[in-house]
Structure 1
Amino acid sequence: MNSNAAAAAATNEARIDTAGFHEQAEYLFRSSWQWIDHHWLQIAIAVVVAAVIFVVLQGVKRWGAKLGSRKPDSTGWRHIIGRAFAKTTNFFILMTAIKLVVGYSYAPLLVQTTVIFLFTVAAVFQAAVWAREIILGFITHRTESGGHGEALGSAMGIIRLLVSFLVFAVALIVVFDNLGVDVTGLVAGLGVGGIAIGLAAQGIFADLFAALSIIFDRPFRKGDSVAYDDTFASIEQIGLKSTRLRAFSGEELIISNRNLLDKQITNNTHRIHRRGTFMIGVTYQTPPEVCAKIPAMMQEIVERHDCTFSRCGFVGFGASSLDFELVFDSEGPDFAIFYERRSAIGIAILRKFNDDGIDIAYPTQMTFAAGPDGKPVDPGVPEPAKGTVMRGA
């Protein structure tokens, strides 16, 4: 008996629900027909305008697809915006046109509510699609223009996933909020989930964001010659988690992106010039007049070897030499060219000193002989015997 009564109650409830649905549908039909009957002129005008807007938006979509398929220009923004417009959905275009018709022709409240709901969903998710395409397009452009194509290829999958999750999560929250749903719990849940994922994979995300920092900030690029700590190497590959370098001594070095950015990096490829310095010492027997001519000699030699003379001058009295400092610059970052010029300048200085009889000092020791009275004597001249009178010739 109890089961039969429950079944009968369920059947009655289903009939009531069906009847209510039919009543709502009949009310919607009658109200819509009355609306069309009383506002047919406004509806006709709105439909024409909506059709024009539909065609225009379709044209913009096709124009965006055509622009996005071309080779990116110097800035890349036209290409990025074109690809974003190409992702405009037909549902959004249709709902935009319908929204215009309904808003201009005084549609019934139920129709307006339905259209507003659908238009909100279409507009929010279309904005999310545009935002995703613009963000990903900007990342792609910056990576390709900076020579980081390999880094993008390895990181693009996870970047696309993170960007898509972020923009569509925000879009979903906006849709629910516009529908009157309390999104506080959803936002809190997403926040807690994001924190948990971030803590679980903080090392991976730290290296990923470091790779993105390298891509956007461009402290160095593939092929650059860099130095950090006591390491001198060239960049071979910038990856998702680590960067591979080739040391000047031949071995491959692998360092995580996060640790690499924490160091002070010297990018030798971006040098304006390379500076060379020579410390030159001449003997104390060199006359002052000759010493005064040494800076001009150095300038003439440096400029003859396609380098920029910076300065040369007397810097101090050494233990066994008169010390001069020569500073010059070799234009450009190429170390091989600088190395050859520095070597040629050093040999030219040696040749000039030999030709002019200028002695380059080296560590020496000199012994002086003194008589009983403390005055220096020439050890090559014998001391005269007592009582002997030295007479001049």
Structure 2
Amino acid sequence: MAPPAQSAAQAATKPATLPAKDIGHQVEALTVDTYKWITEDSGTALMAVAVAVAIWAILTGLRWGAGRVLGAHHAVTNWQGFVGRIVRRTKGPFIAVSAAYIAAQLFDTPRPLQAFVTFFFTIACAIQGALWLREIILALVERRAGPGSEDHSALASAMGVITVLVNVVVWALAIILVLDNLGVNVTALVAGLGVGGIAIGLAAQGIFSDLFAALSILFDRPFRVGDTISYGGNTGTVEAIGLKTTRIRALSGEQLVMGNTKLLEQQVSNMRRIVERRVVMQIGVIYQTPPDVLEAIPGVIGEIVRAAPHCRFDRAHVFNFAASSIDIEFVFHVEEPDFALMMDARQAICLGLVRRFAEMGVDFAYPTQTSFTAAPDGRMIDPRERQSLAAQEDEEKASPPAR
């Protein structure tokens, strides 16, 4: 058994609490000990009250001064509005209980009074902490898509659900903390909340899946309202991002409605994020093109591309012997994201190639098959030569004989 002196020391160092049992005895002890402290040590009691009032006045003044400095006109998207919103949610009762708790720790107050102040300070901290946490989360959400952002309307429609979810989680934690300090066994309550949350999640799995997908779209921002996107073979402009679906106006005019979860499961190409466009084109010339002319064609293509507006030439090469043509591939970049501007550049380059090839005597190839006839000695006979000889013979037959 521990000696009496050691037991007294342990009791003195043990934190003062106010258990939920024997409330009547606790209230009686609080009243008697506090009255005795005031009557027998009135100087210390008055000093403790004065210190508590001074601390309350200082904390209240700091809150008022911070509110004045930060101002109420700042938006939550900058740090003044963010901090000012949290400062304004600091409640007066929390400041008063905090001042009483600090004064109780500074002076030798009766243990029942100290337990009483500690009990209410714990409750005040739980409630004020819940208010702060709620404001911080909601402020962060609003900072992510503030009034000036393009998807503010979509976020406004989701803020109701986000607020409900945040309130449920934050206040559930605060209530569990308060009940735990009251001496209630919260283990069964936490287990029940966990099982109930799982049941609700399984029952509304599809709804929550689309909801969190919508929040992912709003916060991660793979695309926004007004962006042109391409997915699953469809291309259109995003008109609205809802809690369950995203509505897209297709290029052909109809409105496409796509579930948020299904949309994010696909590869989405955001056309608005294009900085510049890379264009790869191929042309073919006939096999009868002279080697010197063929060697000069890549340089000619480079000149034509550089002359086109907003175009940057990359490369041009003779790269393939096809069935009916010698293929040439060239690459250039259009330094503007506009699709119509890119098509104008392609048209200008195509027309320039047609004009320049006509000047050079270069023929574009097209799918053809040419038959060659072999002479008795095995030498190949070009049918075009045979056609030329046949035409001459026909002309000679048609002309009258000379006299």
Shorter-chain TM band: 0.7 to 0.9
Q: Distance in 1 between matches of 2:74 and 2:372?
A: 84
Alignment partner of 1:284: what SS? coil
Give the corresponding residue for 2:352. Answer: 348
The answer to whether structure 1 residue 335 and structure 2 residue 339 are counterparts is yes
The answer to whether structure 1 residue 367 and structure 2 residue 367 are counterparts is no
Give the corresponding residue for 2:282. Answer: 279
Give the corresponding residue for 1:125. Answer: 127
| Shift in Å, 1:72 | 3.0
Alignment partner of 1:106: what SS? coil
8 Å CA contact retained: 2:37, 2:45: no
Alignment partner of 2:368: what SS? coil
The answer to whether structure 1 residue 264 and structure 2 residue 267 are counterparts is yes
Provide the alpha-carbon RMSD of the alignment: 2.4
Give the corresponding residue for 1:54. Answer: 56
Give the corresponding residue for 1:376. Answer: 380
The answer to whether structure 1 residue 89 and structure 2 residue 91 are counterparts is yes
Give the corresponding residue for 1:165. Answer: 168
Give the corresponding residue for 1:317. Answer: 321
8 Å CA contact retained: 2:179, 2:186: yes
The Cα offsets for residues 183-207 of structure 1, whole Å up to 9 and x where unpaired, read as 0111112112212221222211111
| Shift in Å, 1:272 | 2.5
Give the corresponding residue for 1:386. Answer: none
| Shift in Å, 1:269 | 1.3
Alignment partner of 2:364: what SS? coil
Which of 250, 253, 278 aligns to 1:250? It is 253
Give the corresponding residue for 2:116. Answer: 114
**1:291 to 1:41, Cα distance in 2 relative to 1, 3 A:** farther
Bigger mean CA offset, 21-30 vs 282-291 = 21-30
Alignment partner of 1:55: what SS? helix
Bigger mean CA offset, 316-325 vs 59-68 = 59-68
Give the corresponding residue for 2:17. Answer: none
8 Å CA contact retained: 1:99, 1:115: yes
Which of 145, 150, 153 aligns to 1:150? It is 153
Give the corresponding residue for 1:203. Answer: 206
Alignment partner of 2:240: what SS? strand
**1:46 to 1:137, Cα distance in 2 relative to 1, 3 A:** same
TM-score (norm 2): 0.83
Mark the runs of 5 or more structure 2 residues left unpaired by the alignment: 1-21, 391-403
Counterpart of 2:319, as a letter, is V
Q: Distance in 2 between matches of 1:165 and 1:68?
A: 30
Alignment partner of 1:311: what SS? strand
Q: Distance in 2 between matches of 1:322 and 1:330?
A: 26
**1:132 to 1:26, Cα distance in 2 relative to 1, 3 A:** closer
Q: Distance in 1 between matches of 2:71 and 2:244?
A: 31
Counterpart of 2:363, as a letter, is D
Alignment partner of 1:69: what SS? coil
Which of 162, 186, 190 aligns to 1:187? It is 190
The size of the alignment, in residue pairs, is 362
Give the corresponding residue for 1:303. Answer: 306
Which of 233, 237, 240 aligns to 2:236? It is 233
Q: Distance in 2 between matches of 1:331 and 1:363?
A: 34
The Cα offsets for residues 342-371 of structure 1, whole Å up to 9 and x where unpaired, read as 222211221221222221112223333332
Q: Distance in 2 between matches of 1:52 and 1:112?
A: 19
| Shift in Å, 1:136 | 0.7
| Shift in Å, 1:175 | 1.3
Counterpart of 1:365, as a letter, is Q
Q: How much identity, in percent, do the aligned residues show?
A: 45
Give the corresponding residue for 1:102. Answer: 104
Alignment partner of 2:108: what SS? coil
Q: Distance in 2 between matches of 1:172 and 1:301?
A: 75
The answer to whether structure 1 residue 292 and structure 2 residue 295 are counterparts is yes
Q: Distance in 2 between matches of 1:194 and 1:345?
A: 63
Q: Distance in 2 between matches of 1:25 and 1:279?
A: 93
8 Å CA contact retained: 1:146, 1:221: no
| Shift in Å, 1:53 | 3.0
Counterpart of 2:214, as a letter, is A
**1:323 to 1:32, Cα distance in 2 relative to 1, 3 A:** same
Alignment partner of 2:150: what SS? coil
| Shift in Å, 1:64 | 5.5
Mark the runs of 5 or more structure 1 residues left unpaired by the alignment: 1-19, 383-393
Give the corresponding residue for 1:4. Answer: none
Alignment partner of 1:220: what SS? coil
Counterpart of 1:76, as a letter, is N
TM-score (norm 1): 0.85
| Shift in Å, 1:51 | 3.0
Which of 205, 215, 218 aligns to 1:215? It is 218
| Shift in Å, 1:71 | 2.9
8 Å CA contact retained: 1:146, 1:215: no
